[in-house]
Amino acid sequence: MPTNKKLLILAGDGIGPEVMTQVKRVLDWFAKNQALKFDVEDDLVGGCAIDKHGMPLTDETMAKAMKADAVLLGAVGGPKWDNLPFEIKPERGLLRLRKDMELFANLRPAIVFDALAEASSLKTELVAGLDIVIVRELTGGVYFGSPRGIETLPNGERRGINTQVYTTSEIVRVARVAFELARKRGRKVCSVEKANVMESGVLWREEVTKLHKAEYSDVELSHMYADNCAMQLVRQPKQFDVIVTDNLFGDLLSDCAAMLTGSLGMLPSASLGAPDANGRRKALYEPVHGTAPDIAGKDLANPLACLLSLAMMFRYSFDLGSSADLLEQAAKNVVAAGFRTGDIMAAGCTKVSTTRMGDEILKELDRLAK
Ligand code: IPM
Ligand code: MG
């Protein structure tokens, strides 16, 4: 690489810093062994930023994120900040990053490692070999629509309001990401909404259908209501290849899909913007799991979701497919060798700490790279 790529690391709260420590060790490994040099800068987001600056994301941090080649994020939030006013809650920091960087496409793969098929809450044969991706719209819908707020009515009752809203261009750009991705995989897209009860869902279905006809008829397209999709995900998850859906449904369905893999601690994600004139996309990578306050600071968290998010960064931001493959293979091998954090522990396996999981990954990278 001619110039060093700029990474901004926002470890956040709870288990975020612990899992991110392992990411940094792995980044050092790639710097040493594969000459992948990154300029890494750390900053604050979420509760830790509230404690220091009184807000979950400062303008300075936002500006750094805009300039970075990629942002890696741990997790935000925790009980300490639960009772703050809505506008300065830790989650607002993450939502601002997504919105201001225009990261409209959130890729959430749910892949079942062979060795973990039995850790799933579903029967092994239903999940063995599962490999699906949820493409979640991330900058629109009810998360950001207006009007929004809580108002007091003349009769003294209060009313909470959020608005589900999508424009054609918002639907088309995320559907395009899903179709393009499907072309590189199983060539199937299932588009998910509630067109039976929501006009925004009717529009969603029409626009996805139009785009499919015009440009992607080589990909198989189906439509599903979101409630049915939740059911199908736990009934027959392998029927899916790529699922494309809105912000709120994507939030729910991706947690559900994540659990099919045995633990939320396994699931990475990539949030991508539109490519600019040079083909460069703004991007943020984060594990799907949250801050897990109950185990935070105890060296118990599973760092694999965050490490697999790093692999996604290699692949999607820097076209380093072979480095991504290497890291993913190391994760698979370590889990297959029986090293397990508490969330994926099984009989006969070795229970390890966050740090020890990092050690094992580094050892396995050494072994694979020989
Ligand atoms: C997620 C999380 C976030 C969301 C929260 C932390 C704001 O649940 O990334 O899935 O609702 O999008
Ligand atoms: Mg969520």
Q: Which of 95, 245, 289 has most ligand 1 atoms within 8 Å of its beta carbon, as the pocket-test mutant?
A: 95
Q: Which of 76, 106, 251 has most ligand 1 atoms within 8 Å of its beta carbon, as the pocket-test mutant?
A: 251
Atom in ligand 1 nearest the alpha carbon of residue 106:
9
Q: Are residues 25 and 130 in the same domain?
A: no
**How far does the centroid of ligand 1 lie from the alpha carbon of residue 234, in Å?**
21
At which of 216, 238, 272 does a domain end? Answer: 272
Q: Are residues 97 and 143 in the same domain?
A: no
* Beta strands 350-351; 339-340: pairing state: parallel
Q: Are residues 267 and 280 in the same domain?
A: no
Q: Are residues 152 and 230 in the same domain?
A: yes
Q: Are residues 44 and 180 in the same domain?
A: no
* Residue 69 is a catalytic residue: no
Please tell me the total number of residues recorded for the chain in this structure: 370
Helix ranges, the chain (H): 16-34, 47-53, 59-67, 90-100, 124-127, 168-183, 199-215, 226-235, 247-260, 304-318, 321-336, 354-369
**Separation of alpha carbons 238 and 142, rounded Å:** 29
At which of 250, 272, 294 does a domain end? Answer: 272
Domain membership of residue 223 as a residue range: 109-272
**How far does the centroid of ligand 2 lie from the alpha carbon of residue 314, in Å?**
23
Ligand nearest to the CA of 77: 1
Atom 8, ligand 1: which residue's CA is nearest? Answer: 251
**Cβ 6 vs Cβ 41: under 8 Å:** yes
pTM: 0.94
Structure tokens of 21? Answer: 């420590």
Atom 12, ligand 1: which residue's CA is nearest? Answer: 251
User: Any idea which residue has 């996309």 for tokens?
Assistant: 281
Question: Which residue out of 89, 143, 246, 316 is catalytically annotated?
Answer: 143
**Separation of alpha carbons 332 and 339, rounded Å:** 10
Question: Which residue out of 100, 131, 255, 299 is catalytically annotated?
Answer: 255
**Separation of alpha carbons 181 and 186, rounded Å:** 9
Q: Which amino acid is at 265?
A: G
Neighbours of 44 (CB within 10 A): 21
* Residue 194 is a catalytic residue: yes
Neighbours of 307 (CB within 10 A): 25
Per-residue pLDDT of the chain (370 residues; tens, 9 = 90+): 457 899 999 999 999 999 999 999 999 999 999 999 999 999 999 999 999 999 999 999 999 999 999 999 999 999 999 999 988 999 999 999 999 999 999 999 999 999 998 888 899 999 999 999 999 999 999 999 999 999 999 999 999 999 999 999 999 999 999 999 999 999 999 999 999 999 999 999 999 999 999 999 999 999 999 999 999 999 999 999 999 999 999 999 998 998 898 888 899 999 999 999 988 899 999 999 999 999 999 999 999 999 999 999 999 999 999 999 999 999 999 999 999 999 999 999 999 999 999 999 999 999 999 9
* Cis peptide leading into residue 147 (ω within 30°): yes
Atom in ligand 1 nearest the alpha carbon of residue 286:
9
CATH of the domain at 19: 3.40.718.10
Question: Which residue out of 166, 251, 282, 343 is catalytically annotated?
Answer: 251
Q: Are residues 246 and 300 in the same domain?
A: no
Kindly state the DSSP code that residue 4 receives in the 8-state scheme. Answer: P
Which positions ≥6 away from 332 have C-beta within 8 Å? 113, 114, 115
Q: Are residues 331 and 266 in the same domain?
A: no
Give the residue from 117, 110, 164 showing the smallest Cα distance to 137. 164
Question: Which residue out of 59, 114, 218, 227 is catalytically annotated?
Answer: 227
Q: Are residues 136 and 64 in the same domain?
A: no
**Cβ 229 vs Cβ 223: under 8 Å:** no
Q: Are residues 232 and 353 in the same domain?
A: no
Which positions ≥6 away from 286 have C-beta within 8 Å? 72, 73, 74, 75, 268, 269, 271, 306, 309
The set of protein residues with a Cβ atom below 6 angstroms from ligand 1 is: 91, 94-95, 251
Q: Are residues 281 and 336 in the same domain?
A: yes
Q: Are residues 139 and 267 in the same domain?
A: yes
Q: Is 297 helix (H, G, I), strand (E, B) or coil?
A: coil
Atom in ligand 1 nearest the alpha carbon of residue 75:
6
Q: Which residues pair with 340 in a beta bridge?
A: 351
For the chain, the domain total comes to: 2
At which of 223, 240, 272 does a domain end? Answer: 272
**Cβ 219 vs Cβ 184: under 8 Å:** no
* Residue 255 is a catalytic residue: yes
Atom in ligand 1 nearest the alpha carbon of residue 269:
9
Q: Which amino acid is at 51?
A: D
Give the residue from 212, 233, 230 showing the smallest Cα distance to 222. 212
Start-to-end C-alpha separation, the chain: 22
Q: Are residues 117 and 250 in the same domain?
A: yes
